[in-house]
Amino acid sequence: MKHIHEVIFFDGRQALGQTVLMYFNETGISIQQSDVWDANRPVLFFAYSDCAVQMVADKAHVMLNKKGTQYMTLPANSFWFPELQAMLNRSNPNLFARLFRLNAFVLLALTIIVLAGAYLGFTRLIPMAGLRLITPEQEMKLGEQFQKAFLSGEAVDSLKTKQLQSFASTLQLSKTYPIHITVVKNTELNAFALPGGHIVVYSGIIHAMKDADEMVALLGHESAHVNGRHSLRSVLRSAATGILVSVVLNDVSGILAVVIDNASMLHSLSYSRSMEEAADENGMQTMVQNGINPLGMKKLMLHFKSAEAAMPGNYSFLSSHPDTDSRIKHADQFAATHKNSSFAPKPVLDSLWLRLKD
């Protein structure tokens, strides 16, 4: 037995709706444009899967096609309306759930993308902003704190520190930063630059070197990291996440704390390959400017390489740069362009070197 109801039908052509007869069953909604239902007259059928309900004030608008060009309206308080709604929901059991799930997924994906983008943006932006905002003077102060923090756990060789400082003082290594060298008692072959002109050299590397030009190469390379602010850049990059957290938490004092915390990991900070190549190149320029044969850079690298091959370990000067052979090749090519240059003997430098090697 059909329950036939009167509704207002909008056929998509005429602006005004017309009163029609409607009944619904398990499959959909049937409409006949007549006053009395007549089985012999044409019927418009709308499947539930194309239908949707919108509430407009006290009226229910039942969209009959996906575009919503054809629809019917009925008083929302019609006694049979809940049953129609139930039919619609049952026929499209997953429609709303699906939409909801899709929306939730899209929202989640968008949120992740936006957050990841913001995170990556900030962690890149912070080093860039930091490099612009931090003056060389501030960097020197920061470097002092780093140096203190780092050296607190190391045995400083004060004699060799003095001797290597004297050695370095005969060289022009930086126009911006005073170069402060500290020699640490450690058999590891290592050296690294701290922000603001501090260079830490392990005694192991001095022991392994043969000639003064190798030390000039090392100091030239590390000074290039100083001049290029590479260590500040690395510190800011590695501290960026922590800085970001501090910024988000609006914890200004936390920002400096985070940066200082990173002092402990300075010696393991790795530079990008382009930074290393720049440090090699600029280091060799520094050698030439100081009247030192740039071949010393190649000698230094070969020495590292053979030492590393003999006793694989943590040789940070090389281990942070995987492509040692290409660096050696580059050093070789650079030296070749200076092979006809004459490099005057450096008796003062040599005697300072011999004292250091003693």
- Total binding residues toward Zn ion, as defined by CB under 5 A: 2
d(CA 228, CA 222): 10
Candidates 151-159, 248-256, 272-280, 332-340 — which segment interacts with Zn ion by CB under 5 A?
272-280
Pick out residues in 166-195 that bind Zn ion (CB under 5 A): none
Q: How far is CA 282 from CA 228, 276, 277, 289, 294, in A?
A: 9, 10, 8, 10, 11
Q: Is 357 in a helix, a strand, or coil?
A: helix
Give the nearest distance from C-beta 276 to Zn ion in angstroms: 5
Number of CB atoms found within 10 A of residue 249's CB:
9
| Pick 139 or 276: Cβ nearer Zn ion | 276
Is the Cβ of residue 88 or residue 194 nearer to Zn ion in the bound state? 194
- In terms of CB distance, is 189 or 279 closer to Zn ion? 279
Please identify, using beta-carbon distances, which residue of 244 and 279 lies nearer to Zn ion: 279
Query: For tokens 């709303």, what's the residue?
Result: 96
Stretch that binds Zn ion, among 37-45, 142-150, 269-277, 343-351 (CB under 5 A): 269-277
| Least CB distance to Zn ion at residue 200 (A) | 13
Whole-angstrom Cα distance, residue 124 to residue 17?
Answer: 61
The residue nearest Zn ion at its CB is 279
Instruction: Give the span between the Cα atoms of 205 and 190, in whole angstroms.
Output: 6
Site stretch for Zn ion (CB under 5 A), options 115-123, 251-259, 270-278, 325-333: 270-278
> Reduced to 3 states, what is the DSSP secondary structure of residue 344?
coil
How many other CB atoms are there within 10 angstroms of residue 81's CB atom?
A: 16
Amino acid at 41: R
Round to whole Å and give the CA distance between 64 and 28: 10
Rounded to the nearest whole angstrom, what is the least distance from the CB of residue 277 to Zn ion in the complex? 10
Q: Nearer Cβ to Zn ion, position 209 or 279?
A: 279
Name the amino acid, one letter, at 340: N
Q: Which of residues 199-258 bind Zn ion (CB under 5 A)?
A: none
Smaller CB distance to Zn ion: residue 127 or 220? Answer: 220
Q: Among residue numbers 273 through 292, which ones bind Zn ion (CB under 5 A)?
A: 276, 279
Q: Which stretch binds Zn ion (CB under 5 A): 40-48, 72-80, 243-251, 271-279?
A: 271-279
Per-residue buried b or exposed e for 2-27, using 16+ beta carbons within 10 Å of the residue's own CB: eeebebbbbbeeeeeeeebbbebeee
Residues lying near Zn ion in the complex (CB under 5 A):
276, 279
